[in-house]
Chains A and B, each alone.
Chain A
Amino acid sequence: GQQLNQSPQSMFIQEGEDVSMNCTSSSIFNTWLWYKQDPGEGPVLLIALYKAGELTSNGRLTAQFGITRKDSFLNISASIPSDVGIYFCATPEETSGSRLTFGEGTQLTVNP
């Protein structure tokens, strides 16, 4: 099955800093999704990308669909304490198109 390699595994930053994380695979995808999981909650969709090269923003978050279609990037600018959580990339399963495969997540800690 498809495997998503997400990095870094964890990040410890100061409030106000910018954050970058990425997700790569050996497979080509038509959709990349980024979810955030707050402590004690379920994942919530942040950004959906549907086209190679696409750059989409959601507030201080910006995500890009890689040109090769094998990777995606998420950037957070001017981080704040509520950005703390686990960020997951995800792609639809190739055959069914519905079930999602998730990366292993990037744990973000923001120090005030």
Chain B
Amino acid sequence: DSGVTQTPKHLITATGQRVTLRCSPRSGDLSVYWYQQSLDQGLQFLIQYYNGEERAKGNILERFSAQQFPDLHSELNLSSLELGDSALYFCASSVSSGANVLTFGAGSRLTVL
């Protein structure tokens, strides 16, 4: 157990729908990162939050949004889902915004039918 908790572990939904993925960082970590891993692709950085504020943005679609709450948990919202959004979504955390060693959760597998 890495200490980073992601829910749900698996999610199946239909095109056009909206889902929310949740992440609780490791105790003491203030920074949360979201990554997408599609089939046959590496890990693509989506967005980073530090202590409730957005710190960095990667190749995140406009249909996707995220936030980090005062208790430091984070949610990734995916809307108007398309087949191509099917992927593993990983959350990672680190103690500070500048830390370069991330601890990953087990991921949420999203399947869009």
Contacts and interface: CB of A to CB of B under 8 A. Distances in A.
A42 B2 contact: yes
A39 B54 CA distance: 31
B56 interface: yes
B6 to A, nearest CB: 8
A82 to B, nearest CB: 17
Interface residues of B, number: 27
Nearest to B57: A99
A43 B45 CA distance: 14
A98 B99 contact: yes
B48 A99 contact: yes
B98 to A, nearest CB: 5
Contacts of B105: 42
Contact of A98 (B42, B56, B106, B107): B56
Contact of A42 (B41, B48, B101, B106): B106
A44 B100 contact: no
A43 B98 contact: no
Interface of A: 31, 33, 35, 40-45, 48, 88, 92-93, 96-105
Interface of B: 2, 4, 31, 33, 41-43, 45, 48, 55-56, 58, 90, 92, 94, 96-107
